[in-house]
Amino acid sequence: MKVLLVEDSERLQRSLSTGLHKHGFAVDQAFDGEQALSFVAVNDYDVIILDLMLPRLDGLSVLSRIRSDGNSCHVLILSANDQTADRIKGLDMGADDYMVKPFSFDELVSRLRALNRRQSGIKNPQIEIDGVTIDSVSRQVKYHDRSITLTPHEYGLLEFLASRRGRVFSHDQLIDQLYDANSYVSRNAVEAHVSSLRKRLKQSGAPELVKTRRGFGYLVE
């Protein structure tokens, strides 16, 4: 899942981005409202984590601009504003969820996963395809109850394509979705991840799953 974290506290930014990376999220970081909009203009995000009290442009103004531009990306407001009226206003303006600081990091991760499932139309945290089970909570993959050990990038690639079954994604689209904006990743790296993922699935007796559409990209059928 690709996330934009909009938060002006460097300490909280550092803590959240580190934790989210450990859970397999690709995280871009914006420290004010104007910077957030510049990221949204050139990147596609699964979820935007949005503080309200931001420099240069406040969070509700950012949210309003995002929605007025027709962007349907999920937005989770993460704010110290804890009044019921604040939550109602944020949700009525187009936010998909609202959490109050201080908060539980584990709950935040669960809510992000729930929003991502909502976006892909999959309610069950486990995806099952041809005997292969992908658990988005434990980040484990099994074939008929036999565990398949994957690297974080291999797992991220498989989960992303499996949750968008039938859709073809190019090398560039996969790079944009699986890596943050500061990472330099070549097309060869994506091909290497696909190759190693297929090898690990084959070694476990599982079907290949990830197919190639030459000239277009990759998909899980």
Mean pLDDT of the chain: 91
pLDDT in tens, 87-142: 999 999 999 999 999 999 999 999 999 898 887 666 677 889 999 999 988 889 99
In which residue ranges of the chain is CATH 3.40.50.2300 found?
Answer: 2-120
The whole-number pLDDT of residue 121 equals 63
- Residue 56: which region, alpha, beta or left (left: phi > 0; alpha: psi -120 to 50)? left
Q: Tell me the three-class secondary structure of 94-149, residue by residue.
A: CCCEEEECCCCHHHHHHHHHHHHHHHHCCCCCEEEECCEEEECCCCEEEECCEEEC
Interhelix angle 59-68/84-92, rounded to 10 degrees, is 20
The whole-number pLDDT of residue 129 equals 93
Distance between CA atoms of residues 78 and 103, nearest Å: 9
Q: How far is residue 14 CA from its own chain's centroid?
A: 18
Which regions in the chain score pLDDT beneath 50? none
In which residue ranges of the chain is CATH 1.10.10.10 found?
Answer: 126-220
pTM of the prediction?
0.77
Q: Output the six-digit token pair for 40.
A: 């949204």
Q: Which fold has domain 2-120?
A: Rossmann fold (3.40.50)
Pick the CATH number of 126-220 from 3.40.50.1000, 3.30.70.20, 3.10.290.10, 1.10.10.10: 1.10.10.10
